[in-house]
C-alpha cells in the first residue's frame, strides 16, 4: 500500500514518531523548551525536503 508516495511502513513509522513527539511534549517538565526543540527539528526536516519554512511563521 502506498499513500502520497509513502509506503505503509513509512507511514507507520511517521505516525509513531508523531505520537512519541506528542507524548514528549505532554510529559515535558518545560513544555516551552520541548516545543521549541520539536519545532527546530521539524523545520530542519522540512528544509531538507526543500520546503521553505519562512512562510510558516505566524
What pLDDT score was predicted for residue 5?
A: 76
What pLDDT score was predicted for residue 4?
A: 67
How far apart (Å, rounded) are the C-alpha atoms in residues 21 and 57?
Answer: 20
3-state secondary structure of 7: strand
How far apart (Å, rounded) are the C-alpha atoms in residues 29 and 42?
Answer: 20
What pLDDT score was predicted for residue 17?
A: 93
Q: What is the mean pLDDT of each run of 10 residues along the chain (58 residues)?
A: 74 94 95 94 91 82
The string over 22-58, giving b where at least 16 C-beta atoms fall within 10 Å of a residue's C-beta and e elsewhere, is: eeeeeeeeeeeebeeeeeeeeeeeeeeeeeeeeeeee
Amino acid at each position: 500500500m502506498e499513500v502520497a508516495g509513502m509506503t505503509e511502513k513509512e507511514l507507520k513509522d511517521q505516525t509513531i514518531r508523531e505520537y512519541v513527539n506528542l507524548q514528549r511534549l505532554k510529559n515535558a517538565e518545560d513544555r516551552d523548551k520541548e516545543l521549541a526543540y520539536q519545532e527546530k527539528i521539524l523545520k530542519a526536516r522540512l528544509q531538507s525536503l526543500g520546503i521553505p519554512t519562512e512562510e510558516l511563521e505566524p
